[in-house]
Homo-oligomer: A and B are copies of this chain.
Amino acid sequence: MTHGPRFPDLIARLPATVPFVGPEEQERASGHVLRARLGANESVFGPSPKAIAALQAADQEIWKYADPSHFELKTELSKRLGCGHGNIVFGEGIDGCLGYLVRLLVEPGDAVVTSDGAYPTFSYHVNAYGGVLHKVPYRDDAEDIAALFAKAAEVDAKIVYLANPDNPMGSWIDGATIEAALDDLPEGTVLALDEAYIEFAPEGTAPKIDPEDPRVIRFRTFSKAYGMAGARVGYAFGAEPLIKAFDKIRNHFSMNRSAQQAALAALLDDAWLAEVRGRVNSARERIAAIAEANGLTTLPSATNFVAVDCGGDGPHARAVLEGLARHGVFVRMPFVAPQNRCIRISAGTEADLDILAEELPKALAEARETVA
């Protein structure tokens, strides 16, 4: 034996590559300045001005730890969700909450089901805890709830993951469809319903599910419609036996104090949320118009981003994405065929989309040259 750490096999076998390269790292690596930040589905419109004011007020007390029970935020949220404090748990973004869920349920070798090409951070957590991922293909650029639940039954999954609306395609499933599908959710499988983008979706997209229904746990965030991605405030809600279990393992003092107070202010400002929805809607229309002006089509979206079909295969879309990056526009794209024919463009300000309108034709022309 030599001095130093002895890693368990599970850890030793995990990939050493860092899976999450931020735009700042891309800038440092490439030397290109990203003038339009349209790749991470952040809300360029920012949070409620009242949330900013709450941040500024709270900053003076940053020397204090935050309340680890998140009492005030839970009080307001429980009213809105029609549940009790015991049905809600906060974490370091939905990413943090998903990690805790996987840790609570998945032992090495346990089966977990997701869609091939769905949110990679969920899969990252499953792999890192030794779960075995079973992936179901998208169907018509949407997550296929029937196939997901059938696969969960087949492999006796501990968790089945469904994002509604979906990222990266922007598609969505009607809430009533999810409610009906729950009859087919196998016993012993928990549905992890990621609703990060739910505030952008049409009325009726969120299913009506009793918070005490033990089959489902839902995830929401202040990172998207509430415009506070940098704050790291996400939460899960569901039946108390599962939610309470988070307290056994979570980092109780992980949340930023100012962020918590700003989240409460953001939650209370329904007018700002409506304003953001309107701006996102306009941005989606403008992205569609820009795409159309370049001979491209876009997919319908219930989110703050639009999947633009670049009219070719994955390598072609990748070339368009890389061209945009060279021209200062940060976007991302799906990982898996045939969804990777698209690039994913976040709703931007008018100024952001002016840059997109200017640079997309160049990136497309360069991509066609490259492939030709």
Residues of A in contact with B (beta carbons under 8 Å apart): 1-8, 10-11, 14-16, 18-20, 22, 24-25, 28, 37, 40, 42-47, 51-52, 55-56, 58-69, 71, 92-93, 95-96, 99, 103-107, 128, 158, 185, 187-188, 190, 214-215, 223, 227-232, 239, 241-242, 244-245, 247-249, 251-259, 262
A136 CB → nearest B CB, Å: 21
Tell me if A230 and B187 are in contact (CB < 8 A).
no
A7 CB → nearest B CB, Å: 7
Given contacts A5-B105, A71-B28, A128-B249, contact A255 B242 (CB under 8 A): no
**What is the bound-complex CA distance between A65 and B22, given in angstroms?**
9
Tell me if B59 and A52 are in contact (CB < 8 A).
yes
Chain copies in complex: 2
- Contact check: which of B46, B105, B107 meets A63 at CB < 8 Å? B46
Assuming A2-B188, A62-B231, what are 7 further A-B pairs, CB within 8 angstroms? A5-B104, A7-B104, A11-B249, A52-B62, A63-B228, A93-B251, A128-B248
- Contact check: which of B5, B59, B239 meets A242 at CB < 8 Å? B5
Tell me if B22 and A247 are in contact (CB < 8 A).
no
User: Which of chain B's residues has its CB closest to A67's CB?
Assistant: B24
Tell me if A232 and B214 are in contact (CB < 8 A).
no
- Chain B CB within 10 A, most for which of A2, A5, A15, A25: A5
- Contact check: which of B6, B95, B215, B258 meets A230 at CB < 8 Å? B258
Contacting residues, chain B, for A259 (C-beta < 8 A): 62, 256
Tell me if B62 and A47 are in contact (CB < 8 A).
yes
Given contacts A55-B258, A95-B254, A247-B16, contact A22 B69 (CB under 8 A): yes
Tell me if B92 and A63 are in contact (CB < 8 A).
no
A216 CB → nearest B CB, Å: 10
A348 CB → nearest B CB, Å: 12
A121 CB → nearest B CB, Å: 8
Given contacts A5-B105, A7-B104, contact A62 B69 (CB under 8 A): no
A250 CB → nearest B CB, Å: 9
User: Which of chain B's residues has its CB closest to A257's CB?
Assistant: B230
Contacting residues, chain B, for A43 (C-beta < 8 A): 63
Tell me if B67 and A25 are in contact (CB < 8 A).
yes
Tell me if A187 and B2 are in contact (CB < 8 A).
yes
- Contact check: which of B10, B40, B251 meets A96 at CB < 8 Å? B251
Contacting residues, chain B, for A1 (C-beta < 8 A): 187-188
The 5 closest A-B pairs by CB, nearest first: A230-B257, A4-B214, A92-B254, A24-B67, A256-B256
**What is the bound-complex CA distance between A345 and B239, given in angstroms?**
39
Contacting residues, chain B, for A46 (C-beta < 8 A): 60, 62-63
Tell me if B254 and A96 are in contact (CB < 8 A).
yes
A112 CB → nearest B CB, Å: 12
14 of the cross-chain contacts (CB-CB < 8 Å) are A3-B187, A5-B105, A5-B190, A5-B245, A11-B105, A16-B247, A25-B68, A44-B63, A46-B60, A52-B59, A61-B230, A62-B262, A63-B229, A93-B253
